[in-house]
Structure 1
Amino acid sequence: MIELILPVLLLFFFILVLFIVWRFKARKYISSGTVATAYDAWTEDKLLEKLWGEHIHLGFYAPGNKNIDFREAKVQFVHKLVKWSGLDQLPKGSRILDVGCGIGGSSRILAKHYGFNVTGITISPAQVKRARELTPSALNCNFQVMDALDLKFQDGTFDAVWSVEAGAHMNDKVKFADEMLRTLRPGGYLALADWNSRDLRAYPPSFIEKLVLKQLLEQWVHPNFISINEFSNILRTNKNSAGKVFSANWNSYTNPSWYDSIIEGIRRPLVILSLGPLAIVKSIREIPTILLMNWAFRKGLMEFGVYKCRG
């Protein structure tokens, strides 16, 4: 009997997921305003915060230690990127700009553990409001609504610029790099992590891959993806860069995050239920895109790029 019921339940769940994805409109990128609207909605319904904690980005899973708690992996990611990029060489009190700060999870770690003075910016007013609510007054963090393509800071304001998984939402990657490097003082540190595609010009996507990329772009307000090498060249040729840019693909360290992001809903079902029936629908809606992300990163269609350079 169980052998008959299980396939029926799986088929029902599959049909339900397809209906939910069809019922909701795609989150296509139109302008920075659509990015703000999407993140306002994600922040205000509190689903991601309740399930994933204060860090929306992926986690870091060291080889041989894949069973680390999802939220702890996210914290570990921050420390690993700090060390890899050289930000740990900066003295306490250094001025850090966190571009695409979300609700301030990384900013608070940079301030608390390293003694930095952090300014976080995001296009989402709801994220700024929530970041301020979550941040103790004792921490040197401040948050502002600002477009990363039009930073309202003078040249050379910051000792380091930090950005995690924000660049994929930028329709002008050159301007994105220019604004970050412009506000970085000479000799300052840039630490950046982002979702990239493989080089699609050198290795054009297949028909199936095109469909996958379309879903990844349209569901999570991404205008386009570029490769690690392409963005490295943008940084390398920028007039405010010292020219030495180092990059790496952290797919193997971050990929377990995709399954963990779904499993969190199974581990904490009461969290979803506490937010009401619509939260259940919203959480199911994200599953197909998460699974496609996992597939794309495992197959090498997508790459998790990390970058470091000096101003």
Structure 2
Amino acid sequence: MSFWVTLGGLLSLLLLGFIVYLASARRYQSAASVANAYDEWTEDGILEFYWGDHIHLGHYGSPPHHKDFIQAKADFVHEMARWGGLDVLPAGTTVLDVGCGIGGSSRLLAKDYGFAVTGITISPAQVKRAQQLTPAGLNARFQVDDAMALSFPDSSFDVVWSVEAGPHMPDKAVFAKELMRVLKPGGVLVVADWNQRDDRRRPLNFWEKPVMRQLLDQWSHPAFASIEGFAETLAATGLVQGAVVTADWTQATLPSWLDTIWQGIIRPQGWLRFGLAGFIKSLREVPTLLLMRLAFGAGLCRFGLFRAVRASR
């Protein structure tokens, strides 16, 4: 009898947790809802504790192999810089990091490549934390700005860099135009983003639609573009010289999702540091992380890289 009572209690808790998970989704409403979400994640410190200052996926090699969680994130920046041809650019190259988070990539680009980096994010809390983490003398500065309406004039930067910011953008055409607009003629755009499968070629099926809905709603995403679709959107700006180059890094980044959960298991000191509220907040992200792993592993989502050169005209 006690077994069935215990089982019933556990199932009731799971059902309650599932209801709370769905009810507490951080659905995209506006730029303000994205800013508020990142302000909260930054101010409580949990994301930084487990992910470090690189708030993006890691690169685990091709083929993927075991790697330190934080090192994989730094390696991602270097792999992306090499893929985009940025590693051969001279010191002093001006870079705009769109969606810079708390500045991990910006600082690495400034420190290891000698670039002059400006990081922008819509979150005031992220800007404040990025400034706190940046040592004096490093050529990296940060400011609040909206990627859908950048405050910089045309032809301001040699390089525009963006990692995992695109899913937060409600109008991909406006986003693409802004990225290309602020590049100098001959300048290079390098973007890495979460993308969905091109549903023009293969529509989402019965189980993929609700999974995609949660991937959007849980983390304030209005929509994912496909790799093919966003490449076309960049080309349609009329500001691209030659072809948009793309790559699929799904397999190289795939271990990040389960590795994120594993960090919470092997580093329980985070639960103690942030108390019961921090534990519950961390625990509620586990279903989304598992859904991300499912989506990227099953081909519903893909991790896309994009490189475009600004036309001279």
Number of the residue aligned with 2:258? 259
CA distance in 1, matches of 2:309, 2:8: 57
Structure 2 residue 272 is matched with structure 1 residue 244: no
Structure-1 residue corresponding to 2:187: 188
CA deviation string 1:45-76 (max 9, x = no partner) = 11010011001100001135521011100000
Q: Are the aligned partners of 1:120 and 1:144 in contact in 2 as well (CA < 8 Å)?
A: yes
Q: Distance in 1 between matches of 2:300 and 2:63?
A: 25
4+ aligned runs moved over 6 Å, structure 1: 7-10
Q: CA deviation at 1:240?
A: 1.6
Deviation per CA, 1:59-112: give whole Å up to 9, x if none. Answer: 001135521011100000000000000111210011000000000000000000
1:229-240 matched pairs, under 5 angstroms: 229-240=228-239
For 1:234 and 1:308, the matched residues in 2 are separated by 13
Task: Give, in whole Å, the separation in 2 of the partners of 1:33 and 1:239.
Answer: 30
| Equivalent residues of 1:198, 1:228 under 8 A apart | yes
Per the TM alignment, residue 10 of structure 1 is displaced from its structure 2 partner at its CA by: 8.2
* Contact residue 192 and residue 308 of structure 1 kept, 8 A: yes
Contact 1:54 1:103 survives alignment (8 Å): yes
Q: Normalising by structure 1, what TM-score?
A: 0.94
* 183-192 or 230-239, which deviates more: 230-239
**AA at the equivalent of 1:178:** K
Corresponding position of 1:43: 42
Matches within 5 A, 1:178-217: 178-217=177-216
Deviations 1:245-280 (A, max 9, x none): 100111010000000010110111112221111000
Amino acid at match of 1:105: G
Equivalences for residues 72-221 of structure 1 within 5 A? 72-221=71-220
CA–CA distance in 2 between the matches of 1:88 and 1:256?
25
3-state DSSP of counterpart to 2:221: coil
Aligned-residue RMSD, C-alpha: 2.0
Amino acid at match of 2:176: A
User: Secondary structure in 1 aligned to 2:35?
Assistant: helix
SS at match of 2:240: coil
Deviations 1:202-233 (A, max 9, x none): 21111211110110010000001121000001
What amino acid sits opposite 2:158 in the alignment? D
2:62 and 2:307 map into 1 onto residues whose CA distance is: 22
Tell me, in whole angstroms, the C-alpha distance in 2 between the residues paired with 1:8 and 1:306. Answer: 47
Identity of aligned residues (%): 53
State the distance in 2 between where 1:93 and 1:74 align: 24
Residue aligned with 1:303, SS: strand
What CA distance in whole angstroms lies between the structure 1 residues aligned with 2:8 and 2:87? 53
Q: Given that residues 100 and 121 in structure 1 are in contact (C-alpha distance below 8 angstroms), is that contact kept between their aligned partners in structure 2? A: yes
Give runs of aligned pairs for residues 36-75 of structure 1, distance below 5 A. Answer: 36-64=35-63, 66-75=65-74
CA–CA distance in structure 1, aligned partners of residues 179 and 55 of structure 2: 21
Contact residue 60 and residue 254 of structure 1 kept, 8 A: yes
Q: Please identify, of 196-205 and 292-301, the stretch whose mean Cα deviation from structure 2 is larger.
A: 196-205
Q: What is the rounded CA distance, in whole Å, between the counterparts of 1:16 and 1:79 in structure 2?
A: 43
Shift of 1:155: 0.8
Alignment of 1:308 with 2:307, yes or no, is yes
- Alignment partners' CA distance in 2, 1:53 and 1:13: 32
What is the alpha-carbon distance in structure 2 between the residues aligned to residue 235 and residue 88 of structure 1?
23
Code of the residue aligned with 1:18 in structure 2: it is: F
Q: Which residue of 1 aligns with 2:18?
A: 18
Q: CA deviation at 1:18?
A: 2.3
Secondary structure, in 3 states, of the residue corresponding to 1:202? coil
Unaligned runs of 5+ in 2: none
- CA-CA distance at 1:243 after TM superposition: 3.1
Return the letter of the residue paired with 2:249. Answer: W
Corresponding letter in the other structure for 2:234? L
* Secondary structure of residue in 2 paired with 1:82: helix
CA distance in 2, matches of 1:272, 1:82: 35
CA–CA separation in structure 2 for the residues paired with 1:115 and 1:60: 22
**What is the identity, as a one-letter code, of the residue corresponding to 1:77?**
F
Query: Which runs of 5 or more structure 1 residues have no equivalent in the other structure?
Result: none
User: Scaled by the length of structure 2, what TM-score is found?
Assistant: 0.94
